[in-house]
Structure 1
Amino acid sequence: MTDAELVVVGGGPIGLACAIEARLAGMAVIVVEPRDDPIDKACGEGLMPGALAALHRIGVDPPGHRLAGIAYLDGAQRVEHRFAERPGRGVRRTVLHRELGRRAAELGTPIVRGRVAGLTQRRDGVELTLAGGETIDTPWVIAADGLHSPVRRLLGLDGRAQHPVRRRYGLRRHYAVAPWTDLVEVHWSALVEAYVTPVDDRTVGVAVLGPRPLDQEAAIATIPELADRLAGAQPVTDARGAGPLLQRSRSRASGRVLLAGDASGYVDALTGEGMRVGFAQARAAVAAVRAGNTEQYEHAWRTTTRDFRMLTTGLVVAARSPFRPRIVATATARPQLFGAIVERLSR
């Protein structure tokens, strides 16, 4: 098979965004993805204003619940910031995937069901070998195949693994209860954070982040205010997990293969703007492919993720330190600083 100017490995939201960007630029593109639709993932499901604007630019407008801002809570302490210019949106991951898939299909994007098992690079292209033995030849590849990217591993671009003691994980579950706020609430307890995101008029998603062993219901029980809100609410999905959250890549490109989204490296979910960053990477990766310049992408990747990496890394360090009990208190004492950080990350 050799009909595509670009092959995108991974048919999740960032992979589909890459394919849509490529089709809008007039490129012939194929997506390779082993899983059936819709693809779900453990995540907070809050699209920040910048992420929603990026989706609108490529013709995608997923239904969901209006998000007016972010609140941090720790017991009786609370600080919130409402987005200054436009709202975000809480969107079920399966709904987001469906809408991106619909747009990609509308633009004529074929999806090959398969898993990449091998990769060979030449000066002028890449040969991908699928698990069933089929091969695909293409001038360029963008790998958006997730946190534990097989393509990143095949390229030898995995970074240093985090020490097991410091690893953090995530669990997400949905509950049948009407949202009580139009904010994403981040509840802090001694060991975990719980992200509460309204995703429609009858459902909230709760994502819990912390070290192993991680039990969602036990974690919620350590946050009395949240436990009271969810008392009697029926879970409508099973708990879905992800992690370890920190993943490093030694480089974002090797030869004619570029890494995008979580495959390119991930710090933590603490600040909640992974989708915004991922959509920006999709746009930059396609632009670099069209220019035939992987150094352009490396520079764009660093620029796009700088705030995310610096602020999230700092917050993760604080969350693991004796300062953790003071995080919400400090934000409450300095609401303008908290608001400025939220605004910077949300755009």
Structure 2
Amino acid sequence: MIDVLVAGGGPAGLAAAIRAASLGMECVVVEPRTAPVDKACGEGIMPSGVAALRALGVEVSGHPLRGIRYLEGARSAEAEFRGRTGLGVRRTALHTALHTRAVELGVRIVPDRIADVRQGHDRVAACGLTARWLIAADGLHSPVRRGLGLDGPGATVRRYGLRRHYRVTPWTEFVEVHWSRHGEAYVTPLGDGLVGVAVLSGERLAYERHLAAFPRLAAMLLGRDTGPVRGAGPLRQQARARQAGRVLLVGDAAGYVDALTGEGVALAVATARAAVDALASGRPQDYPARWDHLTRRHRLLTAGLLALARRPATARMIVPAAHRAPALFRAAVRALQ
């Protein structure tokens, strides 16, 4: 019998598989897409995420990130990470590194999709495979979460993300967050003459219309776009629980607030490792509390910033407040790093 079956071969699923294999557990990942997998993503990895990847034996090259910079009009505020750097890296490069490491450790990748899960007192079965445990890492709109009846209530305010790449030499080692009353634009330096620009908003518009809300940025990028626009959303997803019998939810499948603070990859790796470690220790019941601890600061800070951003009267105060109180802004950024 397989020790751990993983639904989804994105960063969370592959991180879980790598951790399981490194602990001597037999692991199979079920993923319908062919590697490398691309998706809408800000492509900035926080310092904690870089460290977590290295702890798994995953090395990926990219553009060093020194911190976060907020901009609106002529005003700006920036905060450097403390002690460590983050990394701007193409999603396909990250996926390739994770996939390669998993295969090196003997993880089997099955080209299929898990939706129907059947559980017994000592096993779980899906896609003709039987395992002691299943880790659901099948993304924002997790079919496993839905099939188990764990979908929480839908968000009252929906937000969406779109990303495009531009052939332009990165001009900074900071992730730049450009603010407007319509949403935010995240500029991530990726190296090799490439930057990624992700826009987040509650308005469902074409990418070009979103970018027009940031005229200075749009002028810098004019005519330099490369590759398709990729989208994701609605971003906020809730799960009623992180465990259901012999199934543990990790990464975005376990619930997601927003991409506003850029911790998706770091939290995916951290929660995947926590789930596998709980299984390895024989205490799967400890995982939900561990998930709550690992994600609490992110959930609170992101929800608070979203509450400010969704109201025009308070949204226009975010960058001026960060500019006037740099110590507070540094503290907030470092709390998430």
TM-score, structure 2 as length reference:
0.98
Query: Contact between 2:182 and 2:213, CA under 8 Å: does it hold in 1?
Result: no
Query: Structure 2: how far apart are the matches of 1:345 and 1:67?
Result: 14
User: How many residues were matched structurally?
Assistant: 336
Query: Structure 1: how far apart are the matches of 2:43 and 2:265?
Result: 9
Other-structure match for 1:160: 153
Query: Structure 2: how far apart are the matches of 1:84 and 1:143?
Result: 33
Query: Contact between 2:237 and 2:256, CA under 8 Å: does it hold in 1?
Result: yes
Shift of 1:232: 3.2
Other-structure match for 2:322: 331
Query: Contact between 2:160 and 2:204, CA under 8 Å: does it hold in 1?
Result: no
CA displacement 1:250-271 (0-9 Å, x = unmatched):
0000001000000000000001
Shift of 1:224: 2.0
Query: Structure 1: how far apart are the matches of 2:82 and 2:284?
Result: 35
CA RMSD of aligned residues (A): 0.9
Q: Give the alignment partner of residue 181 of structure 1, picking from 147, 153, 172.
A: 172
Query: Structure 2: how far apart are the matches of 1:27 and 1:5?
Result: 6
- Structure 1: gaps of 5 or more residues: none
Shift of 1:295: 2.3
CA displacement 1:35-91 (0-9 Å, x = unmatched):
111111101100111100001111111111111110000001100011120111100
Query: Structure 2: how far apart are the matches of 1:214 and 1:231?
Result: 18
Other-structure match for 2:286: 296
Other-structure match for 1:80: 78
Other-structure match for 1:144: 137
Which runs of structure 2 are paired with 1:1-347 in the superposition (5 Å)? 2=1, 4-128=2-126, 130=127, 135-163=128-156, 166-233=157-224, 235-321=225-311, 322-346=313-337
Query: Structure 2: how far apart are the matches of 1:57 and 1:71?
Result: 28
2:117 is paired with a residue whose SS is: strand
CA displacement 1:111-152 (0-9 Å, x = unmatched):
011111311111101011x3xxxx111110001000000000
TM-score, structure 1 as length reference:
0.95
Query: Contact between 2:43 and 2:188, CA under 8 Å: does it hold in 1?
Result: yes
1:117 is paired with a residue whose SS is: coil
**Which amino acid in 1 is paired with 2:42?**
G
Query: Contact between 2:6 and 2:137, CA under 8 Å: does it hold in 1?
Result: yes
2:285 is paired with a residue whose SS is: helix
**Which amino acid in 2 is paired with 1:211?**
G
Query: Structure 2: how far apart are the matches of 1:152 and 1:221?
Result: 37
1:318 is paired with a residue whose SS is: helix
- Structure 2: gaps of 5 or more residues: none
**Which amino acid in 1 is paired with 2:298?**
F
Query: Structure 1: how far apart are the matches of 2:24 and 2:49?
Result: 23
Percent identical pairs in the alignment equals: 53
Shift of 1:217: 1.4
Query: Contact between 2:182 and 2:203, CA under 8 Å: does it hold in 1?
Result: no
Query: Contact between 2:28 and 2:109, CA under 8 Å: does it hold in 1?
Result: yes
Query: Contact between 1:167 and 1:211, CA under 8 Å: does it hold in 2?
Result: yes
2:115 is paired with a residue whose SS is: strand
Query: Structure 1: how far apart are the matches of 2:223 and 2:140?
Result: 34
CA displacement 1:190-220 (0-9 Å, x = unmatched):
1110000011130000000001323221121
